[in-house]
Homo-oligomer: A and B are copies of this chain.
Amino acid sequence: MGDGEITLIDIRESVFAENDGQAAIVRDRLADHGVFMLNVLASPGAGKTTLIIETIRRLPDVRIAVIEGDITSQIDAERIAAQGVPAAQVNTGGLCHLDASMVLAALRSLDLGALDVVIVENIGNLVCTADFDIGAAVTVVLLSVPEGDDKPAKYPLIFETSDACLVTKADYLAAGRFDLARATRDVLAINPGSAIIPVSSETGEGMEAWTSMLKQWMKVQ
């Protein structure tokens, strides 16, 4: 028995051209106000919202706002707003990723002149989100330990297009089911320039390294 055949339908070229134009407008608006934008990608449940909240707590002098992307619900935006920072919720109603036009609409609800950083929490998805430039200066992908060390090999594009990989829920490494060396090797094979930082919002491990890198990016943007 051979492998199954592969059927591909390409509807993507024109969608991408339109999106890239909108992403350029997003970049112009952010540059006008000197605002740094970070795009946070991951599977559902990898700990995106919790990481963003811990980042906000550790950077009290940085003026941060958050754009929350979700299919539906405001659960994450409410968690962010409870931290006392502005949050804009984008509900895609079914689409599996944010695009630049959605981010542009969300930016209109934020006072960019009063901000240093906009963090975008994208839809929980390792596939579609990797394809769309939303105009961010930097993209990070989270890989949670309970998801398994084979994800970089199985979803290579998102690890290739992200500037860094945060290995979240690192407190679960003690269970011995996740081979950090394998995950690191696979990420670097796809993307030799990627930073890889194990972090845990439970124990605080790696959070200093993560926020230092973020501050470095903000300086050089």
In the complex, A73 has a CB within 8 A of chain B: yes
A45 and B3 contact, CB distance less than 8 A: no
Contact residue among B93, B106, B153 (Cβ-Cβ distance under 8 Å from A8)? B93
Contact residue among B1, B110, B123, B131 (Cβ-Cβ distance under 8 Å from A1)? B110
Stretch at the interface among A28-36, A94-102, A132-140: A94-102
Q: How far is the CA of A25 from the CA of B71 in the complex (A)?
A: 31
Give the shortest distance, in Å, between A133 (CB) and chain B (any CB).
16
A191: chain B residues at CB < 8 Å are none
In the complex, A43 has a CB within 8 A of chain B: yes
B1 and A86 contact, CB distance less than 8 A: yes
In the complex, A84 has a CB within 8 A of chain B: no
Give the shortest distance, in Å, between A96 (CB) and chain B (any CB).
4
How many monomers of this protein are in the complex? 2
In the complex, A105 has a CB within 8 A of chain B: yes
A154 and B72 contact, CB distance less than 8 A: yes
Give the shortest distance, in Å, between A87 (CB) and chain B (any CB).
8
B1 and A95 contact, CB distance less than 8 A: no
B3 and A74 contact, CB distance less than 8 A: yes
A6 and B93 contact, CB distance less than 8 A: yes
Stretch at the interface among A53-61, A142-150, A192-200, A209-217: A142-150
Contact sample, A vs B, 9 pairs, CB 8 Å cutoff: A1-B88, A3-B91, A4-B88, A4-B106, A45-B148, A75-B150, A94-B127, A96-B127, A96-B128
